[in-house]
Amino acid sequence: MNYPVKNFIKCLISNFILKKPVPLFISLEVTRRCNAKCPFCGYWKLREPELSVKEIKVILDEAYDLGCSIAVITGGEPLLRRDLSSILDYAKEIGLGVILLSNGYLLKDRVHDFYGYVDAVNVSIDFPDSRHDKNRGLNGLLERAVSGIKLLRALNVATNINCVVTGQHSLEDVRKILFLAKELDSQFTFSPIFITPHQYPHGSILGETLAKDEKVMKVNNWNIVKSVADMLLYYKTHGFRKTIQNSGAYLKLVRDKAAFTCFPFSFQFAVSSNGTVSAVCPASLFGSHNLGNALKQSLKDIWYSKKAEILRDKFKSCKLSESLGCYLFCVAEPSLPFTDPTSIIDHIRRGLEALR
């Protein structure tokens, strides 16, 4: 990964020494359209306007100036945008590290358009067999996701397989995906499913889940998450340190369904497909997380606004991890360094291992 080193160091000094929030990541939704129909995600039901490439370029410039080191390009399904490569190319050109999130269906058709502009691609694989296609409502998805990863690895692009663990999973399902990741020379993360509670529906980064899907997918017995976390902790010290990206601190936190102090708007922020800026949080428990719109205000004004400061403080008292199992790896993991520096050591060790 090509980090903008100056931004990265500034971010660490500002957050941990000067105690002034500077973001590491911008999570940019380039579309909310999707070709899949995942039961735990609300995006495929939405129809929302999309930012133009010109607007996105301004947002990426502002994100870099604000101090971001990495652009996480997400959706919806980003590969549905025909102009995606111009967006990725621009993010790379201005010096940002670029991580693309995809369900993998279109990778094999599109990879040659953009592989030179990304540092890593995160591909979702939840089940090791036909349940993956069935669950996500897209025939051939698993096979296409795996061939996409093979192509990316052949082109020397780093990949990560993210597995969302639901109430339908067995330990063996997750083990098979972990072994698949290793076989493909990919990295692996797991995240327990989080279902946005109906009393906090607005502004979620995941949208709403239908009641019928919630019934099937919800983790009613935390033992499955606990055993997955224990298994990953074991494999981390038994041949999979390079593969498993979840830190030991994260795995222990999730296993124990423990309390943690959440920082969903200190290392990162989300820009939705219509320019709305919000915390990377799947429940609007403190009222709207909508902090402004990047088309109307500068990211700097939004990031340092009074409302942002107040919300940052309120998030610290959120209890939805223990009560509802909110441990999305993309939120909990970047929150941990603020309270547990060992998670940073874990990432550095894994990075060094990957370089060998």
Ligand X SMILES: C[S@@+](CC[C@H](N)C(=O)[O-])C[C@H]1O[C@@H](n2cnc3c(N)ncnc32)[C@H](O)[C@@H]1O
Both tokens of 322, joined, read 């223990």
Which residue lies nearer to ligand SF4 by CB, 231 or 324? 324
Stretch that binds ligand SF4, among 72-80, 216-224, 270-278, 295-303 (CB under 6 A): 72-80
191 binds, among ligand X, ligand SF4, none (CB under 5 to 8 A by kind): ligand X
Q: Which helix (H) or strand (E) holds 191?
A: strand 187-192
Site for ligand SF4 (CB under 6 A): which residue of 22, 41, 100, 231?
Answer: 41
Distance (Å) of CA 32 to CA 20, 50, 206, 209, 232: 32, 8, 10, 15, 32
List the one residue out of 265, 283, 264, 203 whose CA is nearest residue 66.
Answer: 265
Q: What are phi and psi of 100, to 5 degrees?
A: -105, 135
Among 22, 24, 28, 38, binds ligand SF4 (CB under 6 A): 38
Asked whether position 73 contacts ligand SF4 by CB under 6 A, the answer is no
Using DSSP's 3-state secondary structure scheme, residue 77 falls into coil
Q: Report which of 175, 311, 167 is spatially closest to residue 243, judged by C-alpha positions.
A: 175
Would you state the structure tokens that stand for residue 313, as one six-digit string?
């403080």
Cβ 130 to ligand X shortest distance, Å: 18
Closer to ligand SF4 by CB, 91 or 281: give it. 281
For residue 7, the surrounding DSSP H or E stretch is: helix 5-16
281 forms part of the interface with ligand SF4 (CB under 6 A): yes
Is the distance from CB of 96 to CB of 117 less than 8 angstroms? no
Choice between 79 and 231, CB closer to ligand SF4:
79
**Residue 292 CA: distances (Å) to CA of 270, 274, 277, 288, 299:** 11, 11, 5, 10, 9
Interaction mask 81-120, ligand X, x per CB under 6 A: --------------------xxx-----------------
Residue 193: contacted member of ligand X, ligand SF4, none (CB under 5 to 8 Å, by partner type): ligand X
String marking each residue 1-40 x if it binds ligand X according to CB under 6 A: ---------------------------------x-----x
Handedness of CA 118, 77, 244, 127 (dihedral sign): negative
Q: Could you say whether residue 77 binds ligand X (CB under 6 A)? A: yes
Q: Check residue 164 for interaction with ligand X (CB under 6 A).
A: yes
Decide which of ligand SF4, ligand X, none touches 266; Cβ closer than 5 to 8 Å per partner kind.
Answer: none
Residue 326's binding partner out of ligand SF4, ligand X, none, with CB under 5 to 8 Å set by partner kind: ligand SF4
Helical axes 248-255 vs 223-236, angle rounded to 10°? 160
Kindly tell me the burial class for residue 98, based on how many C-beta atoms sit within 10 Å of its own C-beta (0-12, 13-18, 19 or more): buried
- Chain positions 114 to 153 lying near ligand SF4, rule: CB under 6 A, are 136
Closer residue to ligand X (CB): 22 or 251: 251
Q: Interface with ligand SF4 by CB under 6 A: which residues?
A: 34, 36, 38, 41, 43-44, 75-77, 103, 136, 262, 264, 281-283, 285, 315, 318, 320-321, 326, 331
